[in-house]
Structure 1
Amino acid sequence: MTDPHRPVLSNTERAADALELFTRTSARLRRRVPFHSAVWTAADPETGLITAPMLVENLGTGENCATYWESELLEENVLPFRDLARAPVPAAGLRVATGDLPARSARFRRLLLGQGVHDELRAVLRIGDRPWGMVSLFRTTHAFHPDEVAVLADLSRPMAERLRRLARPPEAAATEAPAPGLILFDTSGEAVSISDVARHHLAVLPAGPSFPSSLGVNLPIWVIGTALQARAIADGRADAGARIRIRTTEGRWLVCHASALTGAGGHPGPVAVVIEPATPADIAVLVAEAYDLTPRELQVTQLIARGLNTAEIAETLFISPHTVRDHVKTIFTKTRVSTRGSLVARLFTDHYWPALPKPSEVHRPGLPTAQVRSQVRHI
């Protein structure tokens, strides 16, 4: 049976990263679903917020990009991505959804109309309800046809699966992990203060849409989007966390999270954005998603990384040793390894976890020194 996605997804398996995947797919999709401009972006599967990389094609200035995401998060819109992530069909056209009255959407009134856009077709690239990416296609003439919407909807899961696989980063040399960095945004959304450590973190973020600030640094759209989400949560417009994970050009994972502060008299205050090295807890779910591990398989993997043997894992999880061995066998198959040591190296030491602390730094009151050494040795 012929794969209906093959004409669009042909050769995408050889894409080296998500940006190349977007570029190849967009070029092929344009032949079946013509469009004038587009935005393709990865998403954090836990919060649904935009993260690196992002491909913007023929959509004007960087300022327009920031306005687009500001409207998405802070204004009443038709077909917000958060709704498409849960909808029965993960794609829809703006004109069809509004009964050919696209001005019902603030996004269309504020930005798209002035850009000469006639219709927008957008989709969430998802596996179940886990969004791995988002795409918007724009036309300057006629509306998108239902058959074209169906083409993009059918690409949702296959594209998400490719993005999930590409979340497995290459090995990276260990470098000293800096401390958390801080950026403050005032109530108008302007960046007004930044720490030196935050400047360091920004310098190693991947290339993408960014915007100049009065602080002398360009702020990536992913950082701005996280700050906007914090404001949306404070305004009662969103409930998902203002938190994303980004892999740096050095191969490390950073977490960017934001909170809206309260000023005097309960009035809205600034938004604080913290950028810091990811902890094992921050990326455990990403590890599981990237290798298609079930929640139980992830638990077993984490206990292996802590140095527990089969009997100890069985006792901890209240399952039989035989069941543990079955889980380990499946985990080995999914991660393409054959030993526990190589499993830990593949998922944690080489790829995902930050540089390991010195034994003296992981010692906690009440934790025997021998156990500390065991954890350090087996992580």
Structure 2
Amino acid sequence: MDAMRRAGSEIARLAGRQLDLVSFWREASDVLGHAVPHYLSPCWYTVDPASLLITSHFQEGLPEFPEEWLTAEYFADDVHKLTDVSRSADGVSTLLDATGGDPSTSPRWRANMEYGADQEMIAALRTRSGEVWGAVGLYREPGRPLFDAAELAFVRAVAPHLAEGARRALLVGEAQDPERPEAPGLLVLRENGAVESVTPGTERWLDDLPDGGAGRLPSSVLAVAVRALRSAPDPGDPGEVAMSRVLSRSGRWVVLHGASLVSSGERRAAVIVELAHPARISPLLMSAYGLTEREQEVTRLVLQGDSTTEIASALVVSAHTVQQHLKSVFDKTGVRSRRDLVGKIFFTHYEPRVRDNERRAVNGQPLRGGPFTSPR
């Protein structure tokens, strides 16, 4: 238990550092191995919170996720899929439990066995506010002890820290990505409000915020930094990401993200400034398929695994109305079923992001979240 407590504190500390995503996964993998022994290395994923579809995969020794595994994830009739675990109340599951104690009934288990793994644990990386930013899979080879209740409880407890670390790493990566159009601005502030560092191009964001410019730091930036620091009174706890939505001088809505940085010295806060945009899946669905706003809402909920009854309840419409919207969505996207819809959206718009991120990981470039914005 002492090893688990130390590992939990270390993962919380890692989540508050200004790490790129691959570095965060690597360091978190080392810590996890001391608390929950496992086979080979963890399998890390990021997902799009708007759709719960995979946007990146990282595992030491497996630079490219096998195409047949992605096909099974989105087309096969099986259990223990990432979306199912992400939607579950507990957020942590084993393949043994998902199969009622007989994993040999699952094609997923047979695929794992080909790689030498018998047991599988999957945990959704869900923030305290409920957004899922990724998942992690841990494995054990045949003959090893089963994942026990204490290990499941530990992974459940550190999952929010892993989620926050992934979320911050993606934001920092986008702010430092010179290839991204209108890259977000990133600045690091000391506890007294002094600027420690800024990324190129941040000044234009600050100048466009109310009461910014002429060397002045906008009050909205200071406010979100203070909120982030207050959410982490313990120097070893990264706290929560503070957010604020501000109307810029140019008339555009801008979102500020503030995060406390964990370090052994003076407390600091990172503030990221970016354009506000709806969930990225919505403009993609509109431009690619011409879906109406309500059809986009229905599709987003289908991607997240909601049933007809759940969609009807969320949108306050009848089940019959949901079915009518689904028929229109199927016609416009050229599919015949929900599963085909999910598969088409993933392989057209998300699988290219997964493959691009695999290449970026190998080349040491920042990983990107969200789907490609145009069909392949």
| TM-score (norm. length: structure 2) | 0.46
Which structure has more RCO (C-alpha within 8 Å, separation ≥ 6)? 2
Pair member with larger Rg:
1
| TM-score (norm. length: structure 1) | 0.46
